[in-house]
Every structure is written in C-alpha cells, then in structure tokens.
Structure 1
Amino acid sequence: MNESTELGEDFKCKLPNVSMSTQSKTMPMIDLKVYIRVVAAVFSISSATALVMALLRLLTPNLFYVEPLDGSNIVLHYFITGLMVVTSAIGLLNSCVVMNRSAAKNTGRNITTWLLLDSLFETTRVVYVFICEVVIKGRGSLQTYEMLISIAQYLLDSFLYCQMILRH
C-alpha cells in the first residue's frame, strides 16, 4: 500500500498553470465595441453586394441565364430575386444602424436582433443561390461570379457570426 502511494506520487503529472484555451494568447484581443463595428461593416458589404447582384438579376436576367425564362421559371425568378432584394436591403439597413449606433446601445437584445436578422439574410441568400443555380439553371456570364462572391462572403460572414456569438 505504501509502495503504491510512493509510485503514484512519482508519476504525478506536473502541468504548468495554463488556462484551458491558448487561443486568447495567440489571437489579438479586440475590444468588443470595435469588433461589433468591424463585423457590422463586413455584413453591410456582404448585404450591399447581394443587393446589387439581385437588382442586376432583376433588371437584366439575360446576364444570368443563357436561355430565356418561361412559365413557372420566370415567376420563380421574380419571386426569389424580389425576396433577395428585400432581405439584403434589411440586412444592409440593419448593419448600418449597428455601425452608427452608440456603443452603449450595441449590447444585449440589440445585438441578438442584429444577428438574427443577419441570419435571415444569410439563409435567404443560400436559398436564392440554390434556386437560381439548380432549379432555374442559371448559366449566364455573371452567374459564376455571383456564385463565387456569394460563397466567399457566406463563409466569411458565417465565421464572423460564430465569433460574434462566442464574444457576445
């Protein structure tokens, strides 16, 4: 019995006093107020890009589709593009409000509402890209660029969204 205690003490793990996460030591810490404004600026750029592309698709569908739209495809095109215009305008307005609001009001429920509205925009964008690419089969000259821009911005926005939830 005495030997096992001695053996146990000999094999004790001597860990340095380290916090659970070393990320905070390697990542630069940005003040939450500044971080909120940076994320809002990125979200507003993403919303503005989506708004411009949706308006361009709405006004000149021939740039996005090789074959002319007919029947249910044209109805679907106008519905989903109109929905994208509305949600990206809401996302842009929402992020601009967060950027210009005082830091004292960028807390709690206001941040949660902002993130939920941005989530609505991002969900609509995924559905919009899917319907335009797969269902309507867009193959025009701007379709590929819109798809690549949407994917890149979606990945960046999703990363920042997760970081914002963790920091908030």
Structure 2
Amino acid sequence: MEMSWVPVKRSWRLNERHYGALQGLNKKQTADQYGEDKVKLWRRSYDVRPPGLEPSDERHPLHDPRYSTLPPELLPSTECLKDVVERMLPYWYDAIVPDLHLNACVLVSAHGNSLRALVKHLDGLDDQEVVELNIPTGVPRMYELDGDLRPRSWRYLGDPDEVARRAAAVEAQASGSKSSST
C-alpha cells in the first residue's frame, strides 16, 4: 500500500461471531458440558446456533458499554455463521463499497468469522464452501476487483509455506486438535 498513515474505521459489524452460552469456555469445557458432536456442529455449521445467553447474563452484549448506542435488538445472544454474514453485509455496502467506488485502497482487519463472511460474499461461496474455508490468521488476503466489485483475482500476501502453515493451524483449531477458547 506504501502509505505512512491509513484512516481507521471501526464497526461492531466486523466483530467475531458471538458464541452465546459457549462464550469464555474452552473447547474441552464445551465438549464436556454439551458433547463433542454438538460443539463441532455449532462451530462449523453455517446455520446452527449454539445455545443463547439470557439478557441478564453479564456476558450478553447488552451489558458491554461499547454497544450502548446500538439498538438492543441488534445485539445477539448467540450467532451462527449465517448471522455473521447478515451482520457484516451492511458494513460492506455502507462503508466499504463507497470507498471502493472512490478508488480507495481498503484494508479490512477483522476476526476469522467476519472475514469468512466477507469472502463468502466476494467469492460467491455457497454455505458448505464457507464452512470449510480456513483463513490463515494474520495473513492479508488481497483482492483485485473489477468495476462491478467482483474479484478479478486474489492472493495471500506472504511466504506460501507460512500461509499454508497458518491455514492448517486454523483447520486444526476448528477440528478440536488444540485446546483454546471458543
């Protein structure tokens, strides 16, 4: 990009998926409580949500001061990937597209599931393809778009072996090979 300064826009629409009652639990805790099959289903299906949080639960976004200006009905008690796509798309259309129409170079830095949602939209992936998509953590994915904002091409920036290693780490995490937070 060869820029010494990049303006930053923040949006809750690019937040990581809200895992509801699974928030703050690691994979072992969730598997012990709900069963490994359900945890895999919730984590890697497109339209199946984990159990939601009650509005009174302190982990519910209603209690987070960062979201105090948002209408309460926009704050999820749980989300599936389909919900993340629906949450992210208004940001694409309202914030990113106008900048792209001005020929701006746009850098989107976001969480794994919101990036998967964006890639689903840009690449026209179906529901199963996006579920199987493993975006390597911390590796920029650069798109060249045509005048209609459809991808002409894309590529990961960085050493191909390192990109593959990071994608494999994301896949291993999704399959439960590592013990980390949900």
Name the structure where helix makes up a greater proportion of residues.
Answer: 1
TM-score of the alignment, normalized to the shorter chain, above 0.5: no
Q: TM-score, normalised on structure 2?
A: 0.28
Q: Which one scores higher on RCO, CA 8 angstroms, separation ≥ 6?
A: 1
Q: TM-score, normalised on structure 1?
A: 0.29
